[in-house]
Structure 1
Amino acid sequence: MSFLTELEDMEENEKVVMRKVQKLGTSSMIITIPRSWARKHRISVGSLVSVYEDGDRLIISPNNEGSVLKATFSTQHNNVCKHAGRIILCSYISGLDSIILYSNRPFRNDVMEKVSEVVEKLPYTESGLLSEYEFVINFKEKPVNVVDTLLIYGRSLSSLLSKLAAHLDGAKLIKSELESNYEEMKFYSYKLLRLASKGHGQSLNEEHINRLLAAAVGLLILTNDSLYKFAIDLLNLSDFLDNEEKERIKFLLQLLEVSIVASTSSINPPSIKKEEEAYWKLKAILELENDLKDIIANTSGTFGYLLSTLINIARIINNVEETLLCYSIFSKYSD
């Protein structure tokens, strides 16, 4: 019996679907694969699948061995040695399953130190010598969900905003706690980029939807870095604000917090309404730009600087929300 990979729809939430056996040529028969299953397992025309008998059943499963993504790098190149850490990080983020470093001589200690430093920071990553001249790094997978992880990332950002608002109320935020929060968010950003590249769990390997989600992740990383810089400035400059200015900054931080939570929680299930609500929260900050000159003229220089920084952060978050709005539209309405 031959097999033809023709993609068709599987009814939503259905685990069992009926397929009509059709004739192909003079003696062969075919059935079709549900499109949702094919997307989930990254099956396309020309892909190999495993077909085997189990009693009266015929079972089709993805050919996992054929889907392993590997790369090899020779440490004989100076740039490979110089950027070994970056190579591993980029391989992880871009969705590779394994990379091998090889050489015609024993590995240099400084290269191994760079490799070990990065490997220790990446989740579910194993490494070791295959031989005296080959070193392998395997990125193990744990079943995770892209949108759930994105939600956690959004909560981490909102948590930092809440802590900054509390700092203005007298609950001092120490620098070590801030740096710990930043490293945690950076960890999630790496994981999200990898998940978005591989499209696990939500059939997100469809080209357009995957790109939208990856773009949103990239913008959230910019938000993370900008917010970290703002947090450092706030810790250093908050004593130069009067009470009224502190209350105004605190209110704007709370608007950002609500907006981020609303936006990142709207993707499972996709909600256009929540994305629109997130935008209206953010709009109150963006509209301050029209009056920025007058605000700066009537407040302290410190407040004007912090306000300008917050408006810039709001612009980035607005792009995140615009991108996730497109994601929701594609997820709900694209065929």
Structure 2
Amino acid sequence: MDTRKVQITGKSTYVVTLPKKWATRSKLEAGSHISIYYQEDGSLLLKPPGVKSSNKTKKIKFNKELEHIKRDLVGLYIISDHQTIEISGNDIPAAARREIKDLCHRLVGLEMVEGDEKKIVIKNFLDTEDFTIEKGLKRMSSLVYLMLDELASAFEENDKELCNHIISRDDDLDRMFLLVSKQHVERLNLKKPSKHDKQTLVESFYYRLAANDIERIGDHISKISLHFSYISLPQEVLAILVDLCRECQSLFMDSTEALRQSDSDIANNVMGREDIFNKMLISAAQLPTEESIELIIDSFSRIKDYASNIAESAIDLSQL
């Protein structure tokens, strides 16, 4: 780390010299313009002329399992700012190209623009200028609310077809979760945030934690829906499951509201209702049924735990 002494010229101009090695490496000369970014911790980020957003290409060899390549693509989407990804190989199967194209559809902004046996080219057209982590979390919360609402309706009407619709919403939830994750990483890299993004890095961190909890809640709703689509339950059991679903919905919405408002009172109320919910779970688990509902009870319990995690994050934020 270099240190510099602040000098004052005239009555109100503060002057700090730049490190010579940095100035030389950055090819600065008299009259060069340096971009100055104000960071929320009070520090400054200096960028010399010519430093632009990365437009480099990431090259990947198609020499390992397809699932490994797909995981690499998701990682690149979240962590890197590459505008182009090229996958090359001697013989890329048509089935693999289709799977990679489907994956791109699940990643907001990615598009496979070229694909043959020798090479796949993926472009990143994502513009996050008008997107904020707060907007992403709100969208995720709305999706989970709808999924729980539809799950309660599926129980009430014993509608197995509705389960497929609920499961399909989980793909939209995953897309939004990855986009929130990508936006959070950009904040950590000290990139200029969206002009609409008013969150601090601390708030961004807790919202990213909450997004992970919301994504997991969506997974458990899908798991319940899938299991329910294969079993038959008596009406009295379905009525109990409706009550559990509605209570989960209430706990979840209160926890996310507590997070948005950084309200510890709402958050503590959510956590104070855990004992009542646990008693509901125990009662439901003891119901006599020909079909096992253990998986459903366990998933409802996990949803409650994730809602409590979000409430705990809200309590932490309320201390700022």
Aligned position for 1:234: 228
Look up the equivalent residue of 2:110 and give its one-letter code.
T
Aligned position for 2:257: 265
Shift of 1:256: 0.9
Look up the equivalent residue of 2:47 and give its one-letter code.
L
Q: 1:168 aligns with which of 142, 152, 155?
A: 155
Instruction: After superposition, give the CA deviation of every residue in 1:231-257 in whole Å (9 maximum; x if it has no partner).
Output: 2223333x32342x3222211111111
Look up the equivalent residue of 1:248 and give its one-letter code.
I
2-side partners of 1:113 and 1:44: how far apart? 47
Aligned position for 1:311: 301
Look up the equivalent residue of 2:262 and give its one-letter code.
P
Whether 1:151 and 2:142 are equivalent positions in the alignment is no
Do the aligned partners of residues 297 and 277 (structure 1) sit closer, same or farther apart at CA in structure 2, a change above 3 Å counting? Answer: closer
Q: 2:183 aligns with which of 180, 195, 208?
A: 195
2-side partners of 1:212 and 1:281: how far apart? 22
Q: 1:325 aligns with which of 305, 310, 315?
A: 315
2-side partners of 1:259 and 1:281: how far apart? 8
Aligned position for 1:72: 58
Do the aligned partners of residues 168 and 127 (structure 1) sit closer, same or farther apart at CA in structure 2, a change above 3 Å counting? Answer: closer
Q: Secondary structure at the match of 1:72?
A: strand
2-side partners of 1:120 and 1:194: how far apart? 16
Q: 2:210 aligns with which of 192, 216, 232?
A: 216
**Which stretch of structure 1 is more off in the superposition, 140-149 or 91-100?**
91-100
Whether 1:108 and 2:92 are equivalent positions in the alignment is yes
Seq. identity, % = 11
8 Å CA contact retained: 1:286, 1:315: no
Q: Secondary structure at the match of 1:265?
A: helix
Q: 1:250 aligns with which of 234, 242, 245?
A: 242
Shift of 1:48: 0.8
Aligned position for 2:74: 89
Do the aligned partners of residues 249 and 120 (structure 1) sit closer, same or farther apart at CA in structure 2, a change above 3 Å counting? Answer: closer
Aligned position for 1:138: 124
Shift of 1:283: 4.6
1:26-65 to structure 2, matched below 5 A, reads: 35=38, 38-39=39-40, 45-48=44-47, 65=51
Shift of 1:99: 4.2
Aligned position for 1:186: 174
Q: Unpaired segments of 5 or more residues in structure 2?
A: 18-35, 188-192
2-side partners of 1:230 and 1:214: how far apart? 25
Look up the equivalent residue of 1:145 and give its one-letter code.
T
Shift of 1:216: 1.9
Q: Secondary structure at the match of 1:135?
A: strand
8 Å CA contact retained: 2:244, 2:280: no
Shift of 1:78: 1.4
Q: Unpaired segments of 5 or more residues in structure 1?
A: 7-19, 27-32, 51-62
Aligned position for 1:24: 15
TM-score, normalization by structure 1? 0.68
2-side partners of 1:204 and 1:22: how far apart? 31
8 Å CA contact retained: 2:255, 2:307: no
Look up the equivalent residue of 2:13 and give its one-letter code.
Q
Look up the equivalent residue of 2:126 and give its one-letter code.
K
8 Å CA contact retained: 2:252, 2:307: yes
Q: 1:300 aligns with which of 282, 289, 299?
A: 289
Shift of 1:323: 2.8
Do the aligned partners of residues 95 and 308 (structure 1) sit closer, same or farther apart at CA in structure 2, a change above 3 Å counting? Answer: same
Q: Secondary structure at the match of 1:78?
A: coil
Do the aligned partners of residues 125 and 133 (structure 1) sit closer, same or farther apart at CA in structure 2, a change above 3 Å counting? Answer: closer
Instruction: After superposition, give the CA deviation of every residue in 1:38-63 in whole Å (9 maximum; x if it has no partner).
Output: 34xx995453167xxxxxxxxxxxx8
1-side partners of 2:123 and 2:73: how far apart? 8
8 Å CA contact retained: 1:124, 1:139: yes
Instruction: After superposition, give the CA deviation of every residue in 1:198-219 in whole Å (9 maximum; x if it has no partner).
Output: 245435562x443332222222
Shift of 1:140: 1.6
Look up the equivalent residue of 1:169 and give its one-letter code.
E
After the TM superposition, which segments of 4 or more aligned residues of structure 1 sit over 6 Å from their partners?
none
1-side partners of 2:48 and 2:200: how far apart? 18
The count of residues paired between Structure 1 and Structure 2 equals 283
Look up the equivalent residue of 1:90 and give its one-letter code.
G
Look up the equivalent residue of 1:79 and give its one-letter code.
K
Aligned position for 1:59: none
8 Å CA contact retained: 2:97, 2:120: no
8 Å CA contact retained: 2:258, 2:311: no
